Each structure stands twice: as structure tokens, then as C-alpha cells.
Structure 1
């Protein structure tokens, strides 16, 4: 690239060494640069860029500080429960109609995730309940690349600025009205970190929540769409997943009941399909900034000021990590019985859907609960049948802030209710164990087992 060197990591064997160098091989520097995109003050920008190699700095410490609120435990259970309740309430009227409903599959799934996800995160005073604010967010999201790349974006793209400021005003009112007090543990912890530990004011905290909306909505909807796509487009996958879901349902005279928290244990095919979707569809580039020279054990010197990429597409298709069939979607890949050595045949380090190391995505547990819940509710309550007028083609496009591509043109489908007279109750009782997605989760589970 002009005026900048870029290193691309193509070997999984290099990843553990790089992750140990998190101070110099920095994601925090990239996260801090988002401050101007959401319009934060110069004072806040200075705080976010201060001491980027210190674990006590704003940009390094806040994901760690908030992580307990979205790790397995009481706060995550409450947030997941609110998501499931809101999602179920949205689907009930569609099922109760008893007749097929034609919808755009991606548009419908995004709307479901948007309403349920924002309600679960921001609580009773959720600003995105206002459809005008939700629409403004989508407009701003589409303009993200322009804000990131063009120095005069505020002048060149007034539509995006207007949308951002509409969302910012709603978030400022939310913070002034102390909406965070009845929000998820994640929002409460973010407020505590930004306000009490680093002294950010109301406006900067509110604008920070605009940036956090990317994490709440940006990637869950595209991933949810791909999970549903792979479930309903393959008769074998659909049959196997629906069979194990039905086996997890408790039915009595009052109706059908399913505890979503039980799916991780009782539905290994669904869980494996979800994990394989992440592997097969993720396109996140894994960017880092080199803050000081780093010498690797293989003799390579990473020069200060350079960019470094750990692209998921490279590592998710590496045949040395996944086997010769790495280029094929295998919905059972993650559910196979471990070998005699106690490990699956694939290299967990090469699974990059949630990043890894010091910048492993703390929201992976919540996103997993949400997407598993959506898949269960859709598959149990509806048949999803392609509309013949849509045509067979599927063109994809990517956004720089999204980890998965999205359809260039939505696919029209019919939602056909299954047993519309049945009464369904969906709950989330709670889970004290993480889904074993990444090598870090596996190591944490092993450490817990040794301690017990």
C-alpha cells in the first residue's frame, strides 16, 4: 500500500507468538481510531490514544473491564433471557396467522436481530425502539467506510453525518435519563469504565455507544442469516437439526417448552453447523498496528508503523489445519468424536471467527446464545421455502466492518407456520459454561476441570 507496509500472516504456527506480543502488535490502536468516526471530542480522542501499550490505558482496558458482564454467568443469562423473550414475541404473531408469509430472508432476520439485540443490551429505554433511530443507524452504518477513509467526510457526505447525529442525540438523551441503570450488565460496566475510571462526559459516552452498536448489530445479523441459509438449503442438515431440537422440547397439556440454554449440550449438530458456518463464511481480516519493532523467532522483523493482517479466509481454508476437505462445508465437522489424543483433527488456533489471544471477542458468548436461539425458534416454528420468483443466483457483497458477506439482493422466501395452534414457551435458564469455540475456551475449561 502507498506509504505503508502490510504484513499478512498465512501460517497458523505464527499466531500464538504474535498474540503474545499484544502490546506492540496492537488492535487497541485500531479501536481507538474509531473515535473520530462517531464524533467524539478531542479530549476523549486523546484519552483513547493514550498509553496504547499499557493494560491500564482506556482502549486496552475497557474490553477486559466489561468482559465479565458477557461471560457465562448471571449478567449474560439475563441479557440472553431478554433476547429470547423479545424474539419469541416478534415471531408469535407471524406464526399465529397460520398462513404463509412472504418475506425477504435477510431483511427479516436482520430486523429480528436488531429489535431483540438492542432490547437485550440497552433495556427499557432502548433508543432503537424508535424506528427513525434504527433507520438512521442503518444509514450511518452504510457510510462507515467513507468516514474511515476520507478526511473531509463530514463535508462530502452530509447524509451520513445527519444520520449519525440523529442517533447521537437519542443516545445522549438515553445517558442523561440514566437508561443504563436498567440496561444489560455490559452497558452498566461500560458506563462505569468510561465515566468513573476515565472521566468521559455524557456526550462522549453516548457517542461511544454508537460505536458499540457495531458490535451489537454489525456481525450477528449476517452470521445469523448464513446459519439459517445453511440449515434450510440442505434437506439433510435441516432434518438432523430439527430432529435433535424436537428431542429437546418438553411438551405437556399447556404447550411446548424449550430451554434455549440446553441447546449447547442437547443439540451438537446445530452447534456444529453454527461453528462450521463461522469457519466457512467469516471474512474478517484481523487487522493490527505494529507500534514498535517486533522480532519473530523465524527471523522476520515487523517494522514499527506497519499494518498486520491475520485473515480468517486464509486460516479457515488451510488444509494443514482443517484437512483436505477444508474448502467444503461440513455441518458435522465440529461434532466429530475426539481422537485418542483428546483433540479433534483440526487446529483450533486456525479458527479466527472471534479473533484470539488478548483481543479475543468478549461478545462471542452472547452472540452464540442469540444466533442459536434464532435458529431454534425459526426451525421449530416454520418451514422456510424459497419463493420461485427469486431465482437461483446468490450474489454477495462485503462491508469493511462486517465479518461475513451479505446477499447483494435479498432472497424472497415463504415462512410457513408449523403447527400454528401449538403454544410455545421459550426460556433461557442460564449456563455457567462457555461454548467451546476457540482454543482459549478449551484451555479455560481444562483449567476449571483441574481446579475442581
Structure 2
């Protein structure tokens, strides 16, 4: 009996394999980027993505060495771009290679109504302060979970700046619920009936949604940031969305406010405090940038870009070395590239940051190493190569370029300055472990699996520090778009 069942099962598996091979053969156009990982068609890439996450694209780049390839998933094609040379051409076709469709699809994840989701999908191809003082003032070492502390600081500063006096995330129950839902975001994106299959994540989402509905009903947007006010006007007056859909849209916008900035800040601080050389060089230039008088020590955060090149370079290198955002787009219409490759309508396209940030043609043979001085070096006659701005994908690019990149940059470098100048950070146990992030949710920067316990020793509790921000007339030139904008006109970094 057992042998009969084994024979039947084997026959079913063989038939399934033959069917999938035929399906792949009949549906893969020869003009498309070559399909890889087809040992088990459709199933192999899905298993690899679930198991390896962002490491998958890194492995496939190394294994196949293709400028662009296709992953055939169940009911979906994904084109993955390895070569930086293809990026400018793709970004010029922003109507057909669309990030707006990704944002519109997120409406389903946060529970927006079918009517609101339909509105968001219309015409997608048209144009239509940080407080560390309580710790420092104790005058003695304080033990903290480093990631937990940094996340809380960034969460408070970010949400207060965006949502103002009626900020729903002031309630710790709401901020905790947001963290829970953030961990389950991928499940809502991938699985049908996710609300029934993952009740913990669903309940967390609905708790945040209820708080956001209260915020909108109480007209909290009127005392919030200009961004929230304009967003309310756009959603309600131009497109007629109701209170619930506007509120759920704000849940989606929380990903932009909190999803990346906290883990990014964590990695910046980790690279600063875990390397004695980096810490010494950054602290030295920060002290040189500050001035002292009878009222205390003063530092203008706006001066960091010009007067602290090592800090700026360390920040940029952290973005390059640690970013894992997949850079997703949806192909809304067939796209024929100049090299003859066809990208089919309805497919997804990815420009993975990790792949492009380790491209030796863009960054040199040491692209796989962390070099805190990488962005301080200039091209020389002896062969020093200028890095390829197009290959810098931490903030996306093209029409999907992160509009808050300058605010986030100033915020994170300000936090770094506050910590480096006011504290000595020592790991409990004496050594800094290399963090793992196998369980990280799909954020642009990986979240550590386990927090690192550290002691914060105040450097001089009696010294008064005053931090100001006088503003800036030019943006930090991270990427090709910033360089072009700077050549045309000054850009305000707020």
C-alpha cells in the first residue's frame, strides 16, 4: 500500500513538473530578460525569495552575472536589474515603469476601501528635536538597549514633526501596535485572506487605524505639518476620499516616516561607536566645528555638511553598505529597451540597492568593504575613481526618489553629533558584536534581530550644549538627481 502511494505521489510530482516546464516554455518570450532559477519553474524563485530575502539578488548577481534577468513567480514576473547602465533608460520611462502603482497597491495592505483603491489606481501613467538630556544629566552611566533607545528617539521626533499636537503615536499602545503591524506588512502584501490568516497583525493594524480616524475626525491635520495638511486637501478635495480612507492612508505614510529612518540611524551610530578610529576622527571634527562661550558650547547642525566631511562620508557609506531596499516598480505598458530587451506589461521590476551598492564597476574592487572615508576621496591622476551616482540607490531614484531624504539626513547626522559629543558609548561585555538581521521585516535598512546592550557614559555632565539649525541653501549631493538640481538652482534642505 505504501509503495503504491509513493508511486502515485511520484507520478503527480512528475506531471506537475512537466506542466510547469511547458507553462514556462509557452509563456516566456525570447525577447525578455533570461529566466533563471528555473530548476523548479515558478516555485524555485518563490522559495529563494522567502528564504534568502535581500540576499537572493546578491547571490543571483554573483552566480549568473547578467545585466538584467527574469524571476518567474506564481502569477507574476519580476525583472531584476543588475547593471547600473540600464537604470537611466528605465527611469526616463517613468510612466510605464511605475512606482506610483506600488504606492496605489499599498492601499489594500492598510485596509482602504475598494472605492479608494480604484481612485488611487486611476491615470497612473499621467501627470495628472532630540532629547538626550535626561540621560546625560544623571552624570553616571546608563544602560540601554541601543536600538530601542534610538528607535524611540527617532519615533518621537519624526511623528511629532509630522502629525503635531494630536500625534496618535504619543500613545504607547498605538506606537507598539504600529511596530507589530510593520512586522506583518509583507504577509498582507503576499497572501490572500491575510486578515484571517494573521489576526495578530490585523488587530494591530486596526488599532492604529482607529487612532488615525480619531485624528482625522478631530481635524488634527489642521495643526499638523504642511505635508499632512496638503495631503488631506489632496485626498479629500481633489479625489473625494472619506475619513476612513484618509486615515488609513496615513498608516501607509507612517512607513515613510518611521520605516527606514530608525534602522538607518541605528546603523550610522553603530558604525560610529563600534570603531575607535571612526569615532575619534568624527569627534575631533565636531569639536572643531563647535564654539564655546560663557553660556556653553554651541553647534549649528547646518554646518556639519561643510565642516564635518568624515561624519558625512560615514553617513553616506552606511547608506551604501547597509541599504537593502528592493527598488520595486510595476510595468504598466510593454517597454522595449534600446538593447532589444522586452519588459512585459503587468510585470514587476526591481533595482535592488544591495546589488548596485556592491558593484565593483561603480565603487571599485573594495565595494564589499565598509570604508568610512570613501566619500571624502576625490578622483586623482593616479587612478582614484569617482563613484557612480546612478548606482547609489539608498533613496531610490527617478520619479520614486525619496522626497524626505534631506530632512532624514539632517535628522540622523544631528542625532550622531549629539551622541558623539555628549557620550562615550560602551558595549556591555566589552566587545561590539556584528548584528544579525535574519528576522528583519522588509524595510529599506535591516533591523537587528537582537538589541545590543550598551552603557552611555556622559562625557561632561556640567557642560551645557546648545544645538541650532540655521538652514541650508543646497542639498547634500548624494545622487545624480541632486547633482543635476544643484547645477540648475539651489535646493533647500529642510
TM-score (norm 1): 0.89
Q: Answer whether contact 1:276 1:331 (CA < 8 A) is retained.
A: yes
Q: 2:82 aligns with which of 3, 6, 10?
A: 10
Give the superposition deviation at 1:200: 1.3
Per the alignment, residue 249 of structure 1 pairs with 290
1:278 to 302, 316, 319: 319
**In 2: Cα distance, 1:440 partner to 1:11 partner:** 18
Once residues 180 and 381 of structure 1 are traced to their aligned partners in structure 2, the CA distance between those partners, rounded to angstroms, is 36
The answer for the alignment partner of 1:151 in structure 2 is 192
Distance, in Å, in 2 between the alignment partners of 1:427 and 1:184 is: 20
Deviations 1:178-208 (A, max 9, x none): 2222222211221121122212121111111
Q: What does residue 242 of structure 2 align with? A: 201
Aligned match for 1:161, one of 173, 198, 202: 202
Query: Is the alpha carbon distance of 1:431 and 1:386 closer, same or farther for their aligned partners in structure 2, counting shifts above 3 Å?
Result: same
1:352 equivalenced with 2:393 (yes/no): yes
Question: For structure 1, which runs of at least 5 residues remain unmatched after alignment?
Answer: 57-83
* 1:142 aligned residue (169, 183, 188): 183
Name the larger-Rg structure: 2
1:50 and 2:127 correspond? no
Aligned counterpart for 2:365 among listed residues 324, 327, 348: 324
Distance 2:111 2:437 in 1: 31
Give the 3-state SS of the residue equivalent to 1:97 in structure 2. coil
Distance 1:125 1:103, change over 3 A: same
Q: 2:135 aligns with which of 89, 94, 106?
A: 94
**Structure 2: runs of 5+ lacking an equivalent:** 1-72
Task: Check if 1:404 corresponds to 2:476.
Answer: no
1: CA distance, partners of 2:295 / 2:320: 40
Q: Would the alpha carbon gap of residues 220 and 2 (structure 1) be closer, same or farther in structure 2, given more than 3 Å must change?
A: same
* Deviation (angstroms), 1:398: 5.5
Cα separation, partners in 2 of 1:389 and 1:267, compared to 1, 3 Å: closer
Whether 2:428 is the aligned partner of 1:387: answer yes
* C-alpha distance in 2 between matches for 1:337 and 1:51: 44
Q: Is 1:32 aligned to 2:104, yes or no? A: yes
Matched residue of 2:236: which SS?
Answer: helix
Q: Is the 8 A contact 1:398 1:404 kept in 2?
A: no
2:306 paired residue among 265, 275, 280:
265
Residue in 1 aligned with 2:407?
Answer: 366
Q: Does 1:440 align with 2:481?
A: yes
Contact 2:324 2:354 in 1 (8 A): yes
1:163 match: secondary structure: helix
C-alpha distance in 1 between matches for 2:135 and 2:214:
33
Contact 2:364 2:385 in 1 (8 A): no
Question: Alpha carbons of 1:191 and 1:339: their partners in 2 closer, same or farther (altered >3 Å)?
Answer: farther
Equivalent position of 1:213 in the other structure: 254
Match of 2:332 in 1: 291
TM-score, normalising length from structure 2?
0.82
Aligned-residue offset at 1:169: 1.4
Partner residue in 2 for 1:170: 211
Q: Do 2:358 and 2:367's aligned partners in 1 also have CA atoms closer than 8 Å?
A: yes
Relative contact order, higher structure (CA 8 A, sep 6+): 1
- Measured in 1, the distance between the counterparts of 2:301 and 2:101 equals 37
Partner SS for 2:251? helix
Do 1:127 and 1:174's aligned partners in 2 also have CA atoms closer than 8 Å?
yes
* CA RMSD between the two structures: 1.7
Shift of 1:377: 0.7
Cα deviation, residue 5, structure 1? 2.1
Q: How many correspondences in the alignment?
A: 417
Are residues 367 and 398 of structure 1, via their aligned partners in 2, closer, same or farther at CA, if it must alter by over 3 Å? farther
